[in-house]
Chain A
Amino acid sequence: MVIRKSKIKIEELINRLYTESNEYSKIFNNLESLLKLHRGIKINGLILISKEDLPSILKSWKFKDFNLKVTQLSKDIFHYTLMKSNKDEKLSLTGEFLLFKYEPLNNLYIVITHEKFRFFNNVMLRYFNLFYPLISRPFIDTAYMRVLLENFESTLENEKIRVSRCVTKNWIRNAGAKKKVGSDIQYTDLPFREVFEKVAENEEWIKSIDFNFVLEISKDDILQSEPSSYPKVYKLFRDTRFQCGYNFTLFYQRIVEGLANKTAKSYEFFDNRSRVKEDHFAVKPLAIIYDIGLFKDKKQNIRLIEALKSLKKSSISVIHANPYLHLSYLDYRDGSSCDIWVLSENKISIIPQIRSTPAALERLCECIFTGFREGQIKDLKGE
């Protein structure tokens, strides 16, 4: 059947997406139709993970000013209508989204919506954040963003990934500066590897990246791929939000699945670190490891303290700051706490205490990654 663009209205396609996506293949088909026929539309999405059944959690909690209605389309696919009320009715916002299970894994769900970024960010995101720590929103680092783009490009025949916009963060090294972390937006048209190399060279980290494809006929001869009038077709955030304006299926297979797998691994890694009776209250420490001896310079202890201080709804108490660092940390959002030590020049040791949720550890590590420096998170094995 040949679909004629003029004959299918956008409302109909959106309606089809939210009412007829009762199979995974239909979700993708409906999204492809929507994106092909209405190129101004972008699909916004994010990844959510929890310990318990996520739709049940959404069902059992009611928050002031938010109203959620659900229609179950199939066993693992749900359609939601979310309303954020306002005293001024004109300012109330309503939008729709699909929530579906990432098939190989339990309690990991993908959220997608056709709604504008404003609704996605200001209503949906805020709503999901209210469930912290029952629902966790994962993070990826710059290195993993690069891995995803490498994988993505490896599946393309003649096309190459080019970055159109990149939001980076960096340290402000001026000792007198009030702000410790600076932000930079670069509008560019560079191959993604060049962008990542520049970011590494400048000791920056990426907050979000917009990219598209170009047809590379030869090294000096490139052509803009479809859709030529919408060059910014894909967007990836470090908090695993994503935006797709073209070929959702390919984007899903190469980027979203990569995000989901990474999320599942991280969640498993951060999970079960509370000190419990069954384990004789044993500690299950982890560490952020750097490939250089950062803490040779003891000023880095102070930088780390400053980064941790900047995290909202949390607190630290510094017991010892120099030469080694020992502080206690508390996440006021869920009561998770830990001790943080710097006892060697390339490592931050984190010792979770009585309560330690995956969401809180994820938040703490992301704070250290963005406010101090990205590193590798590993188990800390005792000797």
Chain B
Amino acid sequence: MASDPIQQFRDEADNYDQTVISLISFAHLLRYEPTTKKFKQGSYFFMGRRMKTSDNNRISPNSTVTPDIILQDSSKYGLIGEVKKTLPQDTEYWAKTMKQLHKYDDNLIGWKTPDERIAKCDLIFLTDYLLKAPVLAYLSEKKRNNEFSLTNHFALITFAKISGSEEKFTFERICGNFSDEKLNKLLKKGSPMPMPLEKVMQYNTNGAIKFYDSKPPLPYLMNILWHHVFPSIRTINEYVNQNGKKQFETNIDFLTQELHEKFTHTDDYDGRQPKIPDAGWVREAMEAFVQLGYAEKKHDNNGTYIVKFKTIKDPFEKFCKELVRGSSKKKSSVQTTIYEFNGKKINSSL
């Protein structure tokens, strides 16, 4: 990560965006059938889904887990796992991710089958190709020490951006095997499988998905609100009548629903899928708009805000800078940041 906090915001947003793309692309690679030009019938893909662990779960019996990716190939076979575009430098923090995988090493309940169970489930860890060597080394060490021992099949998959006549994400099986031979053939070791991004992004609603089940960087979410959600709140007649005020009211519930409906993967949505984005993320973004002078909070306990909408040439860049500066026109004296870096709140005194 860059030492410049503005660049750090940019990197985090880019990483988040690429994680979303990698998830969609991986699902596309496994589900899309060129002959029918549709996804395989009876297959499902979820970006986050609440699954129930069994009594026998080694880590967390009878509890709820929410894997990043659930790919159900058929009523008999599925993949489940975690996705990390980046990992902290300190490998101590990696244990949490590995622990998650151990939690999924179970006969989980929550699949799209009549009894919500599936006969065979493999585990995957999807990460950036640049992390291949350290992750492989980490897993080898943990295996040697019997700290990484799974009952189900496990495969480490990496993704990489490849530039050429078409931009692609390639997916490569680095170690491990699938219990499904077709999948072993599709994702051969040492033979990266390309997925042209254009094909992925133009299919169905793929090109609109902007969130997965992980909190997005604050300026990333603020930019989506500013660029895509706020503008559509005012009617076209209000735009034509420029004499009208550019301020408008909105509230957390409405914004959360808009983001959920329009910018998340909602195919086959049911009660098991967490509602993304979390209302808390949206509230945090709105509070940031308040801090930066782009909104006012109404004291009605309904999460209502008045947005002071105006022309900003590059909202994402501006929000990054202002968040780092921690200042607004109103509170120019406050020289601090309101953002969490790597999950640690730098300053919450605002």
A positions within 8 Å CB-CB of B: 61, 64, 130-134, 275, 280-283, 285, 293, 296, 298, 309, 313, 315-320, 323-324, 326, 328-330, 332-337, 339, 341-345, 347, 349, 351, 353-355, 357, 380-383
- Nearest CB to that of B13 among chain A residues? A319
| Contact between B234 and A335, CB atoms less than 8 A apart | yes
Q: Answer whether A354 and B232 are a contact pair too, CB < 8 Å, given A281-B208, A382-B199.
A: yes
| Contact between A315 and B224, CB atoms less than 8 A apart | no
- Among B299-307, B311-319, B330-338, the one that faces the other chain is B311-319
| Contact between B239 and A334, CB atoms less than 8 A apart | yes
- Among B121-129, B163-171, B184-192, the one that faces the other chain is B163-171
CB distance from B299 to the nearest CB of A (A): 28
- Nearest CB to that of B207 among chain A residues? A351
B positions within 8 Å CB-CB of A: 13-14, 17-18, 32, 34, 37, 161, 163, 165-167, 196-199, 201-208, 220, 223-224, 226-229, 231-232, 234, 236, 239-241, 243, 258, 261-262, 311-317
CB distance from A378 to the nearest CB of B (A): 12
| Contact between A347 and B228, CB atoms less than 8 A apart | no
| Contact between A319 and B201, CB atoms less than 8 A apart | no
Main DSSP-derived SS at the A contact region? loop
Cβ contacts under 8 Å, B239 to chain A: 133, 333-335
Cβ contacts under 8 Å, A357 to chain B: 236
A170 vs B165: C-alpha distance in the bound complex, in angstroms?
26
| Contact between B236 and A134, CB atoms less than 8 A apart | yes
CB distance from B312 to the nearest CB of A (A): 6
A329, A330, A351 interface centre (most CB from chain B within 10 Å): A330
A86 vs B224: C-alpha distance in the bound complex, in angstroms?
41
| Contact between B163 and A323, CB atoms less than 8 A apart | yes
23 interchain pairs, CB-CB under 8 A: A275-B262, A283-B205, A309-B313, A317-B223, A317-B227, A317-B314, A320-B17, A330-B315, A332-B231, A334-B240, A335-B231, A337-B231, A339-B207, A343-B196, A343-B198, A343-B201, A351-B201, A354-B258, A355-B231, A382-B199, A382-B202, A382-B204, A383-B37
A375 vs B263: C-alpha distance in the bound complex, in angstroms?
29
CB distance from B254 to the nearest CB of A (A): 13
Cβ contacts under 8 Å, A329 to chain B: 227
| Contact between B207 and A315, CB atoms less than 8 A apart | no
CB distance from B290 to the nearest CB of A (A): 20
Cβ contacts under 8 Å, A343 to chain B: 166-167, 196-198, 201
For the complex of A and B, the 9 pairs showing the least CB-CB separation, nearest first, are A335-B231, A317-B316, A323-B163, A382-B203, A324-B167, A343-B198, A382-B202, A354-B232, A351-B207
| Contact between A353 and B201, CB atoms less than 8 A apart | no
A339 vs B228: C-alpha distance in the bound complex, in angstroms?
9
Cβ contacts under 8 Å, B166 to chain A: 343-345
Q: Answer whether A324 and B197 are a contact pair too, CB < 8 Å, given A275-B208, A336-B231, A343-B166.
A: yes
A118 vs B207: C-alpha distance in the bound complex, in angstroms?
45
CB distance from A258 to the nearest CB of B (A): 30
| Contact between B227 and A337, CB atoms less than 8 A apart | yes
B32, B167, B197, B313 interface centre (most CB from chain A within 10 Å): B167
